[in-house]
């Protein structure tokens, strides 16, 4: 009996499951028992490797790292030492959900399991012999753990972060496109958004490659997730990579994986995001940030439905729908050499454009209401926010929103953080949004300590009258103004 029968999900297409048998577990029970018994030392060494690998970008402190991972690792090794694959799979899935709930990035999750393998081997007792076969089985177990973690992570992260579609959105998804205001995380009733919903549903009916074009902050990843969730396998992995967030020379290894010893620092096999997304969707954000060489290999992977890990001589079949995105005009990017022509021609068969917020201003009240509901639940202010004041909404409707929906979300969150009234007012909005509707504040720290012109003028007239003992003719001559003007000033300032 293979592990796939113990976990009734979609694991038949995933690699390695057919390679782990009961006799493997039985013969190497001592390996799993040793890792379990030395878990404390393995965790400490594991955190050191984690710190070296991610530096200041790491998500977890040492205390939280130990708290989240210590008991699951012990339980996994315990299950393997008993030959209980069902329980091992169950613990892997639970750990994947816990990591998703903590908000750890998928790249960090995958790298951490690879680092665990190195840490576990490092603390393996010197007195015990770790044979080549034992190491091979332990390596496979770790790869199976990565696959199960990704499976649970992909299903759980969106839901546990509170960003999966609500029940209201589920009901809205059943409505005709012409009546929808909410659609799988997207919000809007404008004509351009309804056309977008229809394009998403059409794209989801096939497994074809899709290119999403839109400005930064317009919701390209939400569109990619909506395509994935509308497809035939919504519970399959959804793996996202922001190509702009990684150095170009690292993207290839992230996508295709690598074999142990393929390059300096490759201390173990790395699955790669293509295989992590097997059966599901791989979303590559800002694809024009890839090097031309990596784009060429990506095109081959799309066409052949197979990947070759760095350092490997063979290709591994994958069943992945590729969804890419860019904030550039794809034709201009191809002209500038930022997007290979052959890859562009492949991607342009399924292009979806996401409208910028300034072109669907009528959706702003809906979006504001949507984010207010989210932040009321997420930030838990003592006094919930009831809505927007008319002046605040008017300012938002007249703002151009260069940062699109992301900027609107940030503006609402800022108002939650710094505002205290039951509704969001004009003064609670960031200054660029409030714009010309908000008067410039007086800064008492920089204002000179001087009187106004009227105060100075009143004091001058009073002193002139005092000097001439109330003689208005002489006072007018002293001030070098006409008597008529002096009488008007005396009346204005009440100096009769």
How far is Cα 482 from Cα 465, in angstroms, rounded to an integer?
A: 14
Indicate the SS3 state at residue 426. helix
Distance CA 111, CA 240 (A): 15
Look at residue 357 and tell me whether its pLDDT is greater than 90.
yes
- CATH class belonging to 453-493: mainly alpha
**For the segment 213-262, what is each residue's pLDDT rounded down to a tens digit?**
999 999 999 999 999 988 888 888 888 888 887 777 788 888 998 888 88
Rounded-to-integer distance, Cα 76 and Cα 80, Å: 6
Q: Which CATH architecture has domain 359-437?
A: Orthogonal Bundle (1.10)
Fold category of 3-160 in CATH: Globin-like (1.10.490)
Report the pLDDT averaged over residues 38-60: 82
- Measured CA to CA, the distance from residue 149 to residue 343 in angstroms comes to 32
Q: Are the C-beta atoms of residues 295 and 343 closer than 8 Å to each other?
A: yes
Who wins on pLDDT, 104 or 496? Answer: 104
Q: Do domains 3-160 and 453-493 have the same CATH topology?
A: no
pLDDT (mean) for 149-167: 53
The whole-angstrom separation of Cα 352 and Cα 349 is 10
Using N-to-C axis directions, what is the helix angle for 132-160 and 106-122, rounded to 10°?
Answer: 150
* pLDDT beyond 50 at 493: yes
Structure tokens of 453? 């012109």
User: Which contacts (CB < 8 Å, 24+ apart) does range 124-131 have?
Assistant: 124/31, 124/34, 124/35, 124/38, 125/34, 125/38, 128/30, 128/34, 130/31
DSSP 284: E
Q: For 452-474, how does the pLDDT look when each residue is reduced to its tens digit (9 = 90+)?
A: 677 777 778 888 887 787 888 88
Per-domain residue ranges of the chain: 3-160, 172-355, 359-437, 453-493
The DSSP call for residue 354 is P
For the chain, what is the mean pLDDT?
Answer: 80
Please state the length of the chain: 496
The architecture of the domain spanning 172-355 is 3-Layer(aba) Sandwich (3.40)
Arithmetic mean of pLDDT, 22-27: 67
Please give the distance of CA 77 from its chain centroid, rounded to a whole number.
33
Q: Are strands 186-187 and 182-183 parallel, antiparallel or unpaired?
A: antiparallel
**Helices H, strands E: what count in the chain?**
23, 9
pLDDT more than 70, % of the chain: 84
pLDDT for 395 equals 92
pLDDT digits (tens, 9 = 90+) for 293-323: 999 999 999 999 999 988 888 899 999 999 9
Instruction: Round to whole Å and give the CA distance between 134 and 73.
Output: 18
Phi and psi at 282, nearest 5°, equal -110, 120
Q: How far apart are CA 115 and CA 97, in angstroms?
A: 19
Give residue 358's pLDDT band: very low, low, confident or very high (50, 70, 90). very high
Higher-confidence residue: 273 or 123?
Answer: 273
Q: Does residue 208 register a pLDDT over 70?
A: yes
pTM of the model: 0.61
């Amino acid at each position: 009996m293979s592990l796939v029968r113990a976990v009734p999900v979609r694991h038949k297409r995933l690699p390695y499951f057919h390679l782990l048998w009961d006799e493997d577990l039985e013969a190497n029970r001592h390996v799993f028992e040793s890792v379990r018994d030395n878990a404390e030392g393995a965790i400490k060494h594991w955190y050191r490797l984690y710190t070296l690998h991610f530096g200041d970008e790491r998500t977890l402190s040492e205390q939280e790292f130990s708290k989240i991972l210590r008991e699951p690792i012990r339980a996994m090794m315990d299950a393997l030492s008993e030959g209980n694959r069902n329980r091992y799979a169950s613990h892997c899935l639970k750990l994947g959900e816990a990591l998703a709930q903590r908000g750890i990035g998928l790249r960090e999750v995958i790298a951490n399991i690879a680092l665990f393998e190195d840490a576990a081997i490092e603390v393996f007792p010197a007195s015990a012999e770790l044979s080549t076969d034992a190491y091979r089985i332990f390596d496979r177990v770790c790869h199976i753990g990565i696959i199960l973690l990704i499976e649970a992570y992909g299903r759980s992260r969106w839901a546990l972060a509170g960003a999966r579609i609500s029940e209201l959105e589920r009901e809205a998804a059943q409505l005709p496109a012409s009546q929808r205001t909410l659609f799988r995380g997207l919000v809007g009733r404008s004509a351009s958004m309804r056309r977008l919903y229809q394009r998403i549903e059409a794209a989801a009916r096939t497994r074809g490659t899709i290119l999403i074009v839109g400005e930064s902050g317009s919701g390209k990843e939400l569109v990619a997730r909506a395509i994935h969730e509308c497809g035939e396998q919504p519970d399959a992995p959804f793996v996202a990579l922001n190509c702009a967030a990684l150095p170009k020379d690292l993207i290839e290894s992230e996508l295709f994986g690598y074999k142990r010893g393929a390059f300096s620092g490759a201390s173990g096999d790395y699955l790669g995001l293509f295989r992590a997304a097997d059966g599901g969707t791989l979303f590559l954000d800002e694809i024009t940030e890839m090097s031309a060489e990596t784009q060429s290999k990506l095109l081959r992977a799309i066409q052949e439905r197979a990947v070759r890990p760095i350092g490997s001589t063979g290709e591994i079949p994958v069943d992945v729908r590729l969804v890419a995105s860019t904030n550039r005009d794809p034709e201009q990017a191809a002209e500038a050499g930022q997007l290979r022509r052959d890859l562009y021609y492949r991607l342009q068969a399924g292009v979806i454009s996401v409208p910028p917020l300034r072109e669907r201003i009528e959706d702003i009240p809906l979006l504001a209401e949507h984010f207010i509901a989210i932040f009321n639940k997420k930030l838990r202010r003592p006094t919930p926010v009831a809505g927007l004041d008319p002046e605040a909404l008017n300012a938002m409707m007249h703002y151009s929103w260069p940062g699109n929906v992301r900027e609107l979300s940030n503006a609402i969150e800022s108002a939650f953080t710094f505002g205290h009234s039951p509704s969001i007012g004009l003064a609670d909005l960031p200054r660029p949004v409030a714009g010309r509707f908000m008067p410039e504040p007086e800064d008492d720290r920089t204002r000179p300590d001087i009187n106004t012109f009227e105060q100075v003028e009143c004091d001058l007239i009073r002193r002139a009258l005092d000097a001439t003992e109330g003689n208005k003719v002489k006072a007018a001559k002293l001030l070098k103004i006409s008597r008529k003007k002096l009488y008007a000033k005396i009346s204005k300032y009440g100096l009769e």
